[in-house]
Structure 1
Amino acid sequence: MNLYHFARSLVKTVLTPIYRFKIIGRENFPKEGGVLLCANHIKLLDPPVVGVTAPRPVSFMAKEELFRMPILKKLLPNLRAFPVKRGMSDREALRKGLSILKENNVIGLFPEGTRSVDGELKKGLAGAGFFALRSQAAVVPCAIIGPYKKFKRLKVVYGKPIPMEELRGRRASAEEATEVIMGHIQQLIDNHR
């Protein structure tokens, strides 16, 4: 068992009884092929929660600063995380992300770029739209619906893949594609809150 699968099992064992996950829509998640998984971001625990509830292993972009910390520098790559420079166009991170999708793996993104202080969905950054348009990956919206309170149910909802063919065909902007993705996440939140 590699470190990723060990850590996933450990985190699942710890978090499941505390947050009593209710997972909705796992059947919507493609069993194969590249998947761009886009979720809202409300707490620091969102990446591990998505990581243990998604049916397939997920690679996450993580802020570059984390990779400068001695322990995390060695640990994060083994947990399928890769660095991104926030606040600027990071071509290396974009190339790495496209490569992961092309290899038929899953990338998890939080398009808002940072946690929402009030829990309401914020405007998404263009990176999600970039990956959606530049790859042939299925784009799966995900809603994490709190509260993150001990022994209260936490919902994780996976929506059906978002049709991207029309946007790809007319070469829509990354911003427009991100808006479409955010609209689907909002719809999941509204339907399951």
Structure 2
Amino acid sequence: MKLSERVINSLLRTFFRLFFRIDRSELAKVPQTGPLLMMVNHTSNLEGPMLYAFLHPRPLHALAKQELWDHKFMAYLMNMWKSIPVDRQNMGRSTMDACFKVLDDQHILAIAPEGTRSKDGKLQEGKGGVAFIAHKKDIPMIPVVVMGFTSFSRNIRRLRRTVITIKVGEVFEIVQKGGRIDANARQALADEIMMRLAVLMPNEMRGHYKDKDIVFNLTRTVKA
């Protein structure tokens, strides 16, 4: 790791420790070896950097909106963290190839299945693109829920630290392997992936998936 990267990562961890109260014990559930798709709810641009900083040295790469590369400093950070730029309207072949390479290299690929940030912290409908990646690579997935960042701006004005809750679910995989997957099947799989996140949250925070029956037909838990 370059000196500049060590310095920035150290500053990043200091930032999170100063302004937040984070119980990181759940992160111990994340496997330390092998390729992994990390499915994360998306309420802030801080989830990715936080997970990157506190899962280090486990290599983690995240999909990030390509607009972040429009600003020099953010572009520097994105490139340093080896994030993958994505057009949220059209996930092209180059983006897919970059995702596949991360997994082929036995690293973690972090994805927000919702595709865009939730302003109120509640779950939005999952997008089919994430299901395509999951089905294509057929590797383990893990659901990670991060709650609390939506209170950051209010708390910082009151000089209060923000409490961040992290919940990590069980590693799971797709039941039906191989073959083609059409648009309807992709959406059904994306919804089931989102339900893996929903079960880690209070019902009132499940948004699009609130009050829905928790049934897993397309995925199964991976036994340790």
TM interval, short-chain normalised: 0.7 to 0.9
Tell me which residue corresponds to 1:179.
191
Q: Does 1:22 align with 2:32?
A: no
Larger radius of gyration: 2
Tell me which residue corresponds to 1:110.
112
* Contact 2:143/2:169 (8 A) holds in 1: yes
**Residue identity matched to 1:77:** N
Query: What displacement does 1:94 show?
Result: 0.9
User: What is the TM-score when the length of structure 1 is the normalising length?
Assistant: 0.87
Q: 1:71 to 1:9 in 2, by over 3 A?
A: closer
Tell me which residue corresponds to 1:131.
133
Question: Could you report, residue by residue, the CA deviation over 1:24-44 in whole angstroms, capped at 9, with x for unpaired residues?
Answer: 432321111111111111122
* Contact 1:36/1:131 (8 A) holds in 2: no
* Contact 1:18/1:151 (8 A) holds in 2: yes
How far apart are the structure 2 equivalents of 1:106 and 1:168? 21
Match of 2:69 among 63, 67, 70: 67
Tell me which residue corresponds to 1:168.
177
Segments of 5+ residues of structure 1 without an aligned counterpart are none
Identity, % of aligned pairs?
Answer: 24
Match of 1:91 among 76, 93, 98: 93
Higher RCO by CA contacts (8 Å cutoff, separation 6 or greater): 1
**Residue identity matched to 2:195:** G
Q: 1:86 to 1:14 in 2, by over 3 A?
A: same
Runs of 4+ in 1 over 4 A off after TM superposition: 169-172
Query: What displacement does 1:96 show?
Result: 0.6
* Contact 1:24/1:155 (8 A) holds in 2: no
Task: Report the count of equivalent residues.
Answer: 191
**Residue identity matched to 1:153:** V
**Residue identity matched to 1:81:** S
* Contact 1:112/1:122 (8 A) holds in 2: yes
Q: Does 1:157 align with 2:167?
A: yes
Q: 1:158 to 1:52 in 2, by over 3 A?
A: farther
Q: 1:104 to 1:67 in 2, by over 3 A?
A: same
Segments of 5+ residues of structure 2 without an aligned counterpart are 206-224
Which deviates more, 84-93 or 145-154? 145-154
* Contact 2:36/2:107 (8 A) holds in 1: yes
Question: Could you report, residue by residue, the CA deviation over 1:39-65 in whole angstroms, capped at 9, with x for unpaired residues?
Answer: 111122222122223362311112122
